[in-house]
Amino acid sequence: CHILILNGPNLNLLGTRQPEVYGTTTLSDIQDACERQAKALGVSVSFMQSNHEGQLVDAIHAARGTHHGIILNAGAYTHTSIALMDAVSSVGIPTIELHLSNVHAREAFRHNSYVAKVALGVIAGFGAGGYPLALSAMVGHLGSQSS
């Protein structure tokens, strides 16, 4: 099965961006780890990052018919984007919302998530380690659906 790992705005700066909040692992380290883990699990992953809301919407649309699950760290768009929420509902692909930080322990404006309303589940607060958790959760979910 094919899983899309989609990263939103400012996540290209991981490693140097507020390391006290987000850690020092870079997005390319995370991509490498996801690709290694995918190989071990016998699945394939596509890894993407965009700073542009519309490109994220396009990537979710393009996952239709090509990917069985989406892991979405939408960054700040999580808290603002009805368009991303609608894109996830429109394609009907199981989606796990992911955050490096525990958004619920942070500013009030990070407590609402439009994506969570249409997500299978949410993983937050485990830093870069959330990516492997999300990947194994998705493989477990898809496996139990035998897709």
Among 46, 49, 50, 73, binds ligand DQA (CB under 6 A): 73
H helices of 45-147, in order, are 53-62, 82-91, 130-144
**CB 112, CB 128: distance < 8 Å:** no
Q: Strands 69-73, 2-7: parallel, antiparallel or unpaired by DSSP? A: parallel
Q: Please report, as residue ranges, which positions from 80 to 119 form the binding site for ligand DQA (by CB under 6 A).
A: 99-101, 103, 110
Q: Which of 67, 68, 77, 99 is catalytic?
A: 99
User: What is the length of the chain?
Assistant: 147
CA distance 89 to 12: 26
Of the two residues 26 and 101, which places its CB atom closer to ligand DQA in the complex?
A: 101
Annotation says 68 is catalytic: no
Catalytic residues: 22, 99
Annotated binding site for substrate: 73, 79, 86, 100-101, 110
> What residues line the site for ligand DQA (CB under 6 A)?
10, 73, 75-76, 78, 99-101, 103, 110
